[in-house]
Structure 1
């Protein structure tokens, strides 16, 4: 490259004999030959490379020439098409994208709870409905795997053994939640499920042997007090709904414990798909045994007589789809945010569900129930903030 640059000027046969005016002219010609427009994209390399040093040295005013070289290289680089790639909307406005994820998570959750309760008003068979929830999600996952969105992650016997306890707890917690939804008001079930942090803390302390700070335990006192106040005067209270919601809390607590033992490199979408498949297999036998005979005798026919076959089938399909999508959106949303934002999101989600269910179904609640629910939600918020702060300190340290 250096030999080509020097041969670009016929007058450069010996540097000592050049006059200042001629050297200035020859330097310009040499530089022009050395830096064609199509090869200036690496301007810095051209400027400081060996091929340009002879031409620069021929100039009697090197500072001025160097300034022009830099300006020429910069302008050529801008017009070369190798400028920075344009920033996409997702990268430019990450807060708006995260906000949209939160909105969709809440929206799908509220729609699921409302539609789920409406189905129970004319089809009170929570075991079968639970199977439908999981079955629609499994079909969705299988379809996604078929088209490669996402690509199915391989699973072996060892990983399967780890996931089975998680899926069993997921199935039990899901079914008992639906039994509670069918038996009592949606708002009351979610008030009882506000106790889930209490069970998580107890399991961490007494089963996993983890030390729980006293501040975390104190923050749970309002949760227990609020749930107790709400339960005493809840107009839709019955023991089936209350006990089922409590069993759901315990089941999901153990699901968290087994999930920590089954930590894997598999992405959350594939992991949730495998858990859903196993949970569906677990849920089918009790649904057939407990509700199968009644469904074949009167259950299906009564529901079809009340709302029609088309509405009955579409309601079951959409409630299953909303169940799967809101769980998937919850996972995707919580992966994008910090622990504290995660905590706030979970608390606000429960507030949204309770509030919308009261408005939609017109549930009458006593003043004590309303105060108790508010105290319980405030306690959950306090617990979540403290726990998120502890997790953040662990992460930083």
Structure 2
């Protein structure tokens, strides 16, 4: 007889064992290279009988494929949830940001405060052990600096566009980012040409953005330029992130937290120089005439 092994399917553990049961699954697959047998195994939670199947080399691949397919479906669902959550939070952020900019039109300060708030939340999470603190060095922060500059530029560009135009118009122009990715990746990053269907899929995006810009009666060119700069900056950030993330083994959350902290360090002094406390104080007084402090905060 060969060795008895337990394959992971769903929540089952991957380990060799003679006592085969799992409290989290209703199926245990036992691999034996010389025989096929069915073993009733008690479930520790429900005391029901579940079936352990001993596999041969012929059906071992089938079970492995089924397990891999289940894991792949779960991963796709998780990514879909992440995309949906990011999309919903992005819309909520832009709406509240637009409400603030309508009465307090200082995009540099607004962007700086967003980065500062995110930085404080993550620092507090690290301090309270809610999230594991990253292990970084000086070289990491220096390598992250160009990406942080591009990220901050993209945020400022989007905020400038929202301060001058509608939120919907800002989203339409920002949706042209895939076209910028394709163009800039080939020109500046030296990537290979994309397949023809990729270029064809960009035509509706470019056409929709052009139509939206042409039919926007109150389009502000400063805001439009801000959105286009944001598109270019986002492409630069994404390309730089590919290189930086390959070199450092940080989780996605900690990586973005470090990026946010560096953005707040870069952008806050710039906002102070360009806009300044005098403009902010005067703008605050003006904003209080139409909104309460609670609404502004």
* TM-score clears 0.5: yes
Partner residue of 2:147? Answer: 166
How far off is 1:43 after superposition?
6.8
Query: C-alpha distance in 2, partners of 1:255/1:79?
Result: 51
Quick one: structure 1 residues 255 and 105, their matched pair in 2 at CA, closer, same or farther if it must change by over 3 Å?
Answer: closer
Quick one: structure 1 residues 259 and 235, their matched pair in 2 at CA, closer, same or farther if it must change by over 3 Å?
Answer: same
* Preserved contact between residue 185 and residue 236 of structure 1 (Cα < 8 Å): no
Higher relative contact order (CA 8 A, sep 6+): 1
Choose from 42, 47, 50 the match for 1:78. 42
Comparing both structures, which one devotes a greater share of its residues to helix? Answer: 1
Choose from 284, 290, 294 the match for 1:300. 284
Alignment of 1:1-397 (within 5 A): 42=18, 78=42, 94=74, 101-213=82-194, 214-263=196-245, 264-313=248-297
Provide structure 1 residue ranges, at least 5 long, that are not aligned to the other structure.
Answer: 1-40, 45-69, 85-90, 314-397
**Residues paired across the two proteins, number:** 238
Quick one: structure 1 residues 78 and 293, their matched pair in 2 at CA, closer, same or farther if it must change by over 3 Å?
Answer: closer
Query: C-alpha distance in 1, partners of 2:202/2:264?
Result: 33
* Preserved contact between residue 106 and residue 280 of structure 2 (Cα < 8 Å): no
Quick one: structure 1 residues 299 and 42, their matched pair in 2 at CA, closer, same or farther if it must change by over 3 Å?
Answer: same
Partner residue of 1:376? Answer: none
* Preserved contact between residue 204 and residue 212 of structure 1 (Cα < 8 Å): no
Query: C-alpha distance in 1, partners of 2:205/2:80?
Result: 28
Quick one: structure 1 residues 224 and 282, their matched pair in 2 at CA, closer, same or farther if it must change by over 3 Å?
Answer: same
How far off is 1:209 after superposition?
1.3
* Preserved contact between residue 179 and residue 202 of structure 2 (Cα < 8 Å): yes
Partner SS state of residue 217, structure 2: coil
Query: C-alpha distance in 2, partners of 1:215/1:78?
Result: 53
Comparing both structures, which one devotes a greater share of its residues to strand? Answer: 2
After superposition, the CA RMSD in angstroms is 2.9
How far off is 1:217 after superposition?
2.2
Query: C-alpha distance in 1, partners of 2:207/2:44?
Result: 69
Quick one: structure 1 residues 145 and 231, their matched pair in 2 at CA, closer, same or farther if it must change by over 3 Å?
Answer: same
* Preserved contact between residue 172 and residue 251 of structure 1 (Cα < 8 Å): yes
* Structure (1 or 2) with the larger CA radius of gyration: 1
Q: Deviations over 1:279-333 (max 9, x none)?
A: 00111122111211443441121223321223222xxxxxxxxxxxxxxxxxxxx
* Preserved contact between residue 173 and residue 251 of structure 1 (Cα < 8 Å): yes
Query: C-alpha distance in 2, partners of 1:240/1:288?
Result: 21
How far off is 1:123 after superposition?
0.9
Normalised by the size of structure 1, how large is the TM-score?
0.54
* Preserved contact between residue 153 and residue 270 of structure 1 (Cα < 8 Å): yes
Normalised by the size of structure 2, how large is the TM-score?
0.72
How far off is 1:101 after superposition?
4.5
